[in-house]
């Protein structure tokens, strides 16, 4: 009768002490961000020496004054044009990758992504409503405050609808069911968006250019507007990254370990949706970042969300900034929409992820 084997302590220990973030990977992530920043500022219609660009970036630090050898015009190109765009790429890419990793943990679904779950479609639909209703005039540069707020409302509504549709057939939410629900929600919202554009033909070109994705900025305005959303999303998600490791063992076990599963899910979904909405409102619809980066990090650095989330944020920002360099230079002097480039990279990667998920899930 004494032979009562309790597995809960071992489970508690396994969840409480998952593999942590190794310093080497953190250094690699920061190095990728710095390299992408220098590349984003150096490359363009007017190429600048990377070494001189790095020196000029150091001059932005307090009490640093070094001779970069650049002219005043080249310095202005760096500080007023390319650096804001590169920083915006870091913020948007970090938000999309961080949101993708958080959604995958919350839904325990390797295919969860802001775009596949309909979150980006909801944000895009809400932004289209604001634009066609006359809330934005001219080109979408100098992002109005109403755009991120409307995008957040649309994102929350879309992910809630996807979650409810995915559970309509029962309590289980398989990856296939959830993805199909996200596709249905995205199709519905896209139809509504098309209808709005047909009724407001004067806004078609403006919205269409935004839908393809871009990082064009009018100086630092967009960066200043997106930065608070980035900080809030990053703080909330990263502070709760250990809870995603706990949720991965199941709701019953998570409850026995002192976690409130539904409350944690709602908080993480809200934070990830806020980040997605800010990214979409600033850059348009840029897909696949939330799948490519978290899965690459998972394969290379480990499966704990203590590792996946911070590295996804760093490598996601670097990835999108470098992708923007490709979009600006591949067909120069023309510029390819960055959403097209990420789709070309992400399509084959998504097929590989789908095949591996099917093997794991049987």
Give the separation between CA 244 and CA 298, rounded to whole angstroms: 14
DSSP code of residue 82: I
Shortest CA distance to 173 belongs to which of 265, 102, 107?
107
Contacts of 4-13 with CB under 8 Å at 24 or more apart are 8/253, 8/256, 11/249, 11/253, 11/257, 12/257
Q: Residue 45 above 70 pLDDT?
A: yes
3 in a domain, yes or no?
A: no
Q: Is the pLDDT of residue 138 over 50?
A: no
CA distance 281 to 120: 9
Q: What is the DSSP letter of 152?
A: H
- Which pLDDT belongs to residue 36? 95
Cβ proximity of 248 and 105 under 8 Å: yes
Classify residue 289: in a domain, yes or no. yes
pLDDT at 140: 43
Packing angle of the helix pair 261-283, 83-106 (nearest 10 deg): 150
pTM of the model: 0.84
Place of tokens 């499966």: 303
Looking at residues 149-164, what average pLDDT do you find? Answer: 86
Flag whether 23 is in a domain.
no
Cα 59 from Cα 191, distance rounded (Å): 49
Residue 224 pLDDT > 80: yes
CATH of residue 124: 1.10.3470.10
Domain assignment present for residue 10? The answer is no
What is the torsional sign of CA 226, 228, 230, 232? negative
In a domain, 27, yes or no: no
Among the listed ranges 138-147, 234-243, 315-324, which one has the minimum average pLDDT value? 138-147
Residue 13 forms part of a structural domain: no
Question: What is the rounded CA–CA span in Å between residue 112 and residue 127?
Answer: 23
| The pLDDT value given to residue 13 | 44
Domain contains 189: yes
Would you say residue 9 lies in a domain?
Answer: no
Over residues 60-64, mean pLDDT: 86
For residue 356, the model assigns a pLDDT of 66
Look up residue 171 and give its DSSP letter: S
- Identify which has the larger pLDDT, 4 or 316: 316
Could you please report the per-residue DSSP string of 88-150?
HHHHHHHHHHHHHHHHHHHTT-TT--TTTTTHHHHHHHHHHHHIIIIIS-SSS-S--THHHHH
First to last CA, the chain: 38
3-state secondary structure of 153: helix
Which H or E element spans position 34?
helix 23-42
Domain count, the chain: 1
Please spell the DSSP secondary structure of 217-262, one letter per residue: -STTHHHHHHHHHHHHHHHHHHHTHHHHHHHTT-HHHHHHTT--HH
Structure tokens at 162: 């996807």
Domain hosting 197: range is 34-361
The pLDDT value recorded for residue 172 is: 54
Is 18 in contact with 248 (CB distance < 8 Å)? no
Is the Cβ–Cβ distance between 95 and 275 less than 8 Å?
A: yes
What are the residues whose beta carbons fall under 8 Å from the beta carbon of 52, sequence distance 6 or more?
A: 68, 69, 70
Angle at the Cα of 320 (from 160 to 174), degrees rounded to 5?
A: 35
Better pLDDT: 13 or 218: 218
Q: Supply the mean pLDDT for the chain.
A: 82
Which residues touch 181 (CB under 8 Å, ≥6 apart)?
Answer: 118, 162, 163, 165, 166, 168
Q: 241-286: per-residue pLDDT in tens?
A: 989 988 887 777 777 877 888 888 889 988 998 898 888 888 888 8
Give the best-scoring range by mean pLDDT among 70-84, 92-106, 115-129: 92-106
């Amino acid at each position: 009768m004494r032979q009562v084997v309790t597995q809960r302590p071992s489970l508690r220990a396994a969840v409480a002490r998952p593999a942590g973030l190794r310093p080497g990977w953190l250094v690699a992530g920061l190095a990728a961000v710095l390299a992408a920043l220098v590349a984003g500022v150096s490359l363009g219609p007017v190429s600048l020496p990377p070494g001189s660009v790095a020196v000029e970036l150091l001059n932005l630090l307090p009490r640093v004054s070094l001779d970069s050898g650049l002219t005043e015009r080249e310095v202005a190109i760096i500080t007023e044009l390319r650096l804001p765009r590169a920083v915006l790429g870091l913020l948007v890419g970090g938000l999309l990758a961080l949101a993708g990793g958080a959604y995958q943990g919350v839904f325990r679904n390797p295919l969860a992504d802001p775009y596949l779950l309909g979150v980006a479609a909801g944000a895009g639909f809400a932004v289209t409503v604001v634009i066609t209703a006359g809330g934005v005039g001219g080109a979408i540069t100098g992002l109005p405050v109403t755009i991120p707020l409307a995008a957040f409302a649309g994102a929350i509504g879309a992910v809630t609808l996807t979650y409810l549709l995915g559970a309509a057939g029962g309590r289980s939410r398989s990856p296939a069911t959830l993805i199909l629900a996200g596709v249905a929600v995205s199709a519905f919202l896209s139809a509504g968006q098309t209808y709005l554009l047909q009724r407001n033909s004067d806004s078609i070109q403006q919205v269409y250019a935004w839908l393809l994705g871009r990082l064009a900025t009018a100086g630092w305005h967009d960066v200043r507007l997106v930065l608070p959303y980035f900080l809030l999303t990053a703080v909330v998600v990263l502070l709760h990254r250990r809870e995603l490791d706990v949720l991965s063992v199941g709701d019953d076990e998570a409850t026995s370990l002192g976690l409130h599963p539904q409350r944690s899910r709602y908080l993480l979904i809200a934070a990830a949706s806020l980040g997605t909405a800010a990214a979409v409102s600033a850059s348009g619809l840029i897909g696949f970042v939330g799948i490519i980066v978290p899965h690459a990090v998972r394969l290379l650095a480990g499966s704990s969300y203590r590792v996946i989330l911070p590295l996804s944020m760093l490598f996601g920002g670097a990835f999108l900034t470098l992708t923007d360099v490709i979009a600006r230079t591949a067909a120069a002097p023309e510029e390819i929409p960055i959403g097209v480039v990420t789709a070309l990279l992400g399509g084959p990667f998504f097929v590989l992820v789908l095949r591996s998920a099917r093997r794991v899930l049987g």
